[in-house]
Amino acid sequence: MPGFDPYDALIPVYLKTEAPQRVRQIGTAIFVELHGKPFLYTAAHVTDAMKHGELLIPTITGLSPIDGYVAYIDLPPEIRRTEDSTDIAYYRLSSEFARELCHQFQPLPQNRRELILNAQELTVCSASGYPASKSGKTNEGAYYSEIFSVRGVVADEETYSSLSLSPEQSIVIHFSKKEAIDPETGKSLPTPSLRGISGGGIFAWPEGESFPMTDRFQSLWGLCIPSRRKKA
């Protein structure tokens, strides 16, 4: 799809609580089209936060409760979410709510996603989302969050074995903080904590593709379980 920017499919997720009374950004979701229907994909530990409050995302009217059916992979009481290697949730959005989202975001088309059988089929990948440390509130009372992307290579078999994971079920990517460079000045950038990009996108670079500093990806897939600003 010419001109499609995968960043447009990433949406910051906020949690509104009553005690304490506050709104804060806790994760990221991917706005996708599946068989012509609108969905949000995210991590199950993001939707787990619903037990503490209400999940909100930016729409044309501001931060709004997510309107749709939510489903996630639940766990037995004796297993903690931190031990869950699946950690997947999704929303089937109402059509009206999806239209409100489309004023700021665009769904990731189905033909831009690929199902892989083994993570080691991949080479260079970028994990992108909205770090909680890059979110805040303006003097005018508007909330904002900034996209951040880190690039690395898929781990080898030895790394998977050391973590007791399988490349058929998990994606492990090696990142190097020293490669975070400001594309305008060429100087090193401080790397924010990745807390908050959970549920964001993992974007695969096609083999032989160059890696422009703008990180406009060509081939897309994945879900993060782990400089542009949008206001709401």
pLDDT number for residue 201: 85
Structure confidence at residue 229 as a pLDDT band (50, 70, 90): very low
How far, in Å, are 9, 30, 158, 180 from residue 220 at the CA level? Answer: 11, 11, 26, 21
Q: What type of residue is 151?
A: R
Structure confidence at residue 138 as a pLDDT band (50, 70, 90): confident
Buried b (16+ CB within 10 A) or exposed e, 46-76: bbbbeeebebbbbbeeebbebbbeeebeeee
Structure confidence at residue 181 as a pLDDT band (50, 70, 90): low
Q: Is the pLDDT of residue 223 over 80?
A: no
Distance CA 222, CA 56 (A): 22
**Lowest mean pLDDT, pick from 1-15, 21-35, 105-119, 199-213:** 199-213
Structure confidence at residue 9 as a pLDDT band (50, 70, 90): very high
Q: Is the pLDDT of residue 47 over 60?
A: yes
Report, as an integer, the average pLDDT of 65-75: 89
The pLDDT tens digits for 78-137 are 888 877 777 889 999 999 999 999 988 999 888 777 778 888 888 888 888 999 888 888
pLDDT number for residue 206: 64
Structure confidence at residue 212 as a pLDDT band (50, 70, 90): very low
User: pTM score, two decimals?
Assistant: 0.80
pLDDT number for residue 175: 73
What sign does the CA torsion over 208, 214, 219, 225 have?
Answer: positive
pLDDT number for residue 163: 84
